[in-house]
Each structure stands twice: as structure tokens, then as C-alpha cells.
Structure 1
Amino acid sequence: MDTFETDLAQEPERLIDERFPDPRGGTYWPHLVYARPDGARPLMLDLRVPEGAAARPLVVYIHGGGWRIGTPKYDNPTLRRIDAPGRLHAAGFAVARISYRLSGEATWPVPLHDCKAAIRWLRARADTFGVDPRRVAVMGESAGGHLAAMVALTGDDPEMEGAVGETGGSTRVAAAVNWYGVTDLWSIGERREPPPDGAPRMEEALIGGPRAANRTALEAASPVRTVGAAAPPFLHQHGDADRIVPHSQAEALHAALKEAGHDTILDLVPGADHCFWGAAPADRDGGIMDRAIAFLGAHLGHAAPG
């Protein structure tokens, strides 16, 4: 652990005072530590809260990277152009971009427990940050979409909460946006060839064992197998030309939610590959986020300015 991380681990609360004016308006906290798991790196998030006297609705944004790489700032040229966190902030939402332990650091369900710990930590400090603890949504892309869906489907489930960070607070969310996440970890392996170097598949690294011997574990970590009596409204946005996570993954979760009587919207983006590469300019430069913002605003009771 380097000196910076050691300082973070020892003094997380002082970093709440390290706030900065956000160039887009409001306040930015860049280095917030939400948990310090034993033997692991400090788990961090950054938070942007727009200007305004009223408490803001909060969107917890979970990065992708195949569960094995990535940080809260993880992106690529297309995601930078879409700029989901920036668009959400401009629309009046507070945005927390969170880290979680990757598959080289821990196995399932630890990444889920980390995401839930971030939500509990933020809710416990809602007054400090000027966010509304009753209006919290989760949004994620790729691996983060999978985690966002699992967070949304297991809110306050004692068997899925874990003991990371602060315990006792609610992890229920009011809405979920799933960007091209894997929703069935068993079926995704049926269409993928094993890596040529003998390394485990991404989903195998996540659950910590080979696919053939771990079907039960893969299914238990799958949103399609987790749909129950309670679920918040879902928006699934997925490219219909995705070659990494086929859009059938979004369709499967959408169908399972619909069959269970839950509010769910499937938004297939024409011509878009993974990360919305190849999406038409109208979608890439506005439409995708316009629809996400409208969905979140409807379910968080928030009207975007302008």
C-alpha cells in the first residue's frame, strides 16, 4: 500500500472536508473512503453534488471492466463522449462514482457487498453532502450494470448485505439503470470460447472457480435468477450489435422482471456495440442519456432544469 492509500486508510473522515468547487457548479469531493476492509485497499468514491438548497437525488454509478479492471474514472472514448456522470450532474442529480474490489482481489459476493457498503455510507451522511437518502438510484455499465442490477434486486436482503464498512443502513434503491450488463452468468459462458492463454473466463474469475464445477454459484450471482417479489423500476439500455455481451442478456432480465409484475423498460440502441460503440450520433450525443435522465427523473421525483 502506498503512502497516499495509507493516509486514506487512517483518516477517511477528514477527507469529507476536502471539498472543491465543481467547474460545472456545485461541490466535488474527490477522495472519499467508504470502507476499509481488513487486508484490502481502502474503498473509495468520488461525489459531485449540484448547486441548490434542496437535497438532491443521488445516482450511484458503478464502473465496468469485466469485474477485473477499472476505477471510478474508468471509461473509453465513447463513454467519455456520452459522459453519463456529467450529464446526470447537469440535470441536477448528485453522482457518486464508486470503486469495488475486483476479481484479482476478492471473489463473489464481495463486489456486491462493497457496492452496498457505499450506498449505506452515503445514506448515513446524506445531510453532510446535501443528498436525499430517500431518492437513491443505481446505474452501471458492463460489469457495473451486472452489479447495479444485483444491488437493485437484493435491497436489504440480509443474506446479501455483507459486513463491509458501516452496517445497518438500507441498501434499497428507487430505480436502476443497467447498461449492457451480464444478467445470466451461466448462459454467457455458453457462447464464449475460453481464453487462449488458459486464463479463467471473466465470470469464472468473479466466482473463483471453473465454470463446469460452479453452475450453482454462477446462477446465484445472476440477476435473472434473483428476480423476486420486490424490485425497483429498471431501464435496460443495450446495443443491438453488442458482440461482447449480447442484447439477449438484457432481454432475459427484462422478461423476468415483466413476468414478475415489475416496472421495466428495454431500450435497444440500433447499431451499437459494447459501450455503445458505433451508436448513431443522435443516440451517442444525446438520446441515450436523454432517455436515462427522463427515466431517473420520473422515479426519483426530479425534473431536470431547462
Structure 2
Amino acid sequence: MIIEPSNYTYETMPDYTDAVDGAVEIPVTGEEMEIRYAHEVVYDEAHNLHLEIFTPFQMAHPERTWPCITFIQGSAWMKQYVYQKVGMIARLAQRGYVVAIVEYRHSGIAHFPAQIIDAKNAVRFLRAHAEEYKLNPSQMFLMGDSSGGQVSSVAGMTAKSGKLDEPINEESCEVCGIIDLYGAVDVTLPYGYPITLNHQKPDSPEGMLMGYDITEHLEEAKAACSKTYVNEDFPPMLIAHGTKDTMVFCQQSVDLYHALKDAGKDVQLYLLRGADHGGAAFWTEEMITVYDNFFKKCLGE
């Protein structure tokens, strides 16, 4: 087969049709999912904060846009290693979602509610750059694990109220749904962190987040607890927690679930029997399907 050089496009490029003895042909449809990765995208120049953005791409639909998940990586509110779950995140993106992992101001440089503010501003940045990252700005979600579960839930629950907010632009930070994975959602719960021996003290993870001894400021610390905001106007929530979590007591998620149910909110709770704090149990095909179905339900699909 011989072709002359030309300004070919994919549509005009001739298909190679010569028979090749011994070659195996595998047909493609153009529907195959590619994931494109944008590294260290600055979303807040004032605080030099970044996003790791994963965008699906299909050859047959190059201009297609996708729902977007803003993912808050857990770190006990300390400096995050945002690359920890990129393999898992890519699998979620493979289901047809733009996923952006958020770097927030950690507790060593800023106390609560800086982390909530940053999560909301990440959503705003993504909306403002929807065309660039091929996302649908009307189909936004918040998701996080551990301390990121607390950040994503509080950010999503207060997005419409103007509470805990310092906008970086005029975009909305509202979302269509929230997923909280084994979230540290109640810093006031006695013994809420089983292996944290200095629980609620100023040098504990939760104490560093708040900037004080929580036992001496319980009422004030409720501002960081997700169940404080159950009567706000916010979208459906999905909670998942391991029943043998050694770092964040499962009771935190159970209490939040009951508070949401009592407030008449749309909430689902998944208890992973025997699971510890995170790990592969939360990223099986079964659980990724649970998350995928939740997002689709929120979008009315």
C-alpha cells in the first residue's frame, strides 16, 4: 500500500488494508478510554496550591465533556502526599470522570477552616477552566478520604451557605453530591481516634488542625464537625467506613449517618466489614461501581 503525503486528519487518513500473513487484527471503536494527566496545576496563586488533574479522552468523541470529582487526599490535615492514590484515581477516571486531587493548606501553616476554603476554591477553579479540562461545570462532586472526608463533607455541606468561605473568583462552589470515605468528621468525639494517644491535645492531628486543646474548647471545635451542618441545604451524601478502623473510629461515620437521617437528608452508609483505615478494600471494582452509581444517581441517570 502506497500513500502520498497530505494534510490528513483521522477521518481522511486511508485505512491500511493490505493483508499481512500472520498478523493479528484487533478492531477498535474509538470508544476506548484514555486518561490524560495534568501535573501540578496551580489553582490558588496566593497560597501556591496545586491540583493533579486526570481527564478522560475518547478518540471517537474528542470534544466530550465529563462530570468532575474534586478529591481531597487524607493526611491527618498535615502536609499531603497527593500522589498516594493516583493509581486508584486513574481507575475512577476510567469510568468517565475528570478527577482533580486537591492540595490544601495543611495544619502546619494554617488552622481550620483554611482546608475547607481551599477545597471550595478548587471547585471554583475547575469550573472556571471547564473547557480546558473537558469537564461539565454543572456536574461537580466532592470526595475525600480520612481527613479529606471531613474536608469534603464540610465543604459540600456549607457550599450554598457562604460559611467557611473566601472565594477566589465568582464561580459557584456548589456540587451535586458528596462522598466521605472513613472521614475524621467529629473532632469532639471522645476517643474518636483509637491509636491517637494524645487525642484532642494541641499536638494531636485534630488539635493541630484547630490550633488548641479541643477538650478546653469543645463548643468552638464543633465548627469542624460535619454533623454541625446537617440542617444546611446540600446534595446527597455517601459514607463508607471500615468496621475495624484503627485510626478513625467507625462511630464517627455512624453518628454522622444518623444525624443526616434525622435531618431528612439523602444519605447512604456502607460499612466494610473487617476493613481498616482505607486501603484496597475501598477501591475494589465493587466499591468503584458503588461510587459510580452514586454519582449517576445524583445526576438523575
Q: Which TM class, normalised by the smaller chain length?
A: 0.7 to 0.9
Per the alignment, residue 262 of structure 2 pairs with: 259
Deviation readout 1:208-232 (Å, 9 max, x if unpaired): 1111222123111100111114121
Q: Distance in 2 between matches of 1:301 and 1:84?
A: 25
Find out whether 1:28 has 2:40 as its counterpart.
no
Per the alignment, residue 3 of structure 1 pairs with: none
Shift of 1:72: 2.0
Q: Given the superposition, is the C-alpha separation of residues 92 and 116 from structure 1 closer, same or farther in structure 2, using an over 3 Å criterion?
A: same
Contact 1:136 1:300 (C-alpha < 8 Å) held by counterparts: no
Matches within 5 A, 1:96-245: 96-163=100-167, 166-189=168-191, 194-195=197-198, 200-245=203-248
Shift of 1:275: 1.0
Amino acid at match of 1:63: Q
- 2:109 is paired with a residue of what secondary structure? coil
Q: Distance in 2 between matches of 1:300 and 1:91?
A: 15
Amino acid at match of 1:213: E
- Determine which of 39, 44, 54 is the counterpart of 2:50: 44
Shift of 1:178: 0.5
- 1:184 is paired with a residue of what secondary structure? coil
Q: Distance in 2 between matches of 1:191 and 1:154?
A: 25
Per the alignment, residue 5 of structure 2 pairs with: none
Q: Given the superposition, is the C-alpha separation of residues 85 and 256 from structure 1 closer, same or farther in structure 2, using an over 3 Å criterion?
A: same
Deviation readout 1:59-95 (Å, 9 max, x if unpaired): 11110010013232134xxxx7xx4312211101111
- 1:45 is paired with a residue of what secondary structure? strand
Contact 1:182 1:188 (C-alpha < 8 Å) held by counterparts: no
Q: Given the superposition, is the C-alpha separation of residues 34 and 211 from structure 1 closer, same or farther in structure 2, using an over 3 Å criterion?
A: same
Aligned-residue Cα RMSD (Å) equals 2.2
More helix by share: 1
Structure 2 unaligned residues grouped into runs of 5+: 1-31
Q: Given the superposition, is the C-alpha separation of residues 201 and 26 from structure 1 closer, same or farther in structure 2, using an over 3 Å criterion?
A: closer
Shift of 1:202: 0.9
- 2:233 is paired with a residue of what secondary structure? coil
Q: Given the superposition, is the C-alpha separation of residues 134 and 241 from structure 1 closer, same or farther in structure 2, using an over 3 Å criterion?
A: same
Equivalent residues, number: 264
- 1:200 is paired with a residue of what secondary structure? coil
Contact 2:192 2:249 (C-alpha < 8 Å) held by counterparts: no
Runs of 4+ in 1 over 3 A off after TM superposition: 188-196
Q: Distance in 2 between matches of 1:272 and 1:33?
A: 35
Per the alignment, residue 92 of structure 2 pairs with: 88
Structure 1 unaligned residues grouped into runs of 5+: 1-22
Contact 2:160 2:234 (C-alpha < 8 Å) held by counterparts: no
Per the alignment, residue 286 of structure 2 pairs with: 287
Q: Distance in 1 between matches of 2:187 and 2:128?
A: 33
Amino acid at match of 1:160: L
Q: Given the superposition, is the C-alpha separation of residues 50 and 252 from structure 1 closer, same or farther in structure 2, using an over 3 Å criterion?
A: same
Find out whether 1:71 has 2:81 as its counterpart.
yes
Per the alignment, residue 10 of structure 1 pairs with: none
Q: Distance in 2 between matches of 1:296 and 1:257?
A: 19
Contact 2:202 2:211 (C-alpha < 8 Å) held by counterparts: no
Contact 1:183 1:252 (C-alpha < 8 Å) held by counterparts: no
Comparing both chains, which one has the higher relative contact order based on Cα–Cα distances under 8 Å and sequence gaps of 6 or more? Answer: 1
Deviation readout 1:213-259 (Å, 9 max, x if unpaired): 22123111100111114121111011011121111111111111111
Q: Given the superposition, is the C-alpha separation of residues 54 and 172 from structure 1 closer, same or farther in structure 2, using an over 3 Å criterion?
A: same
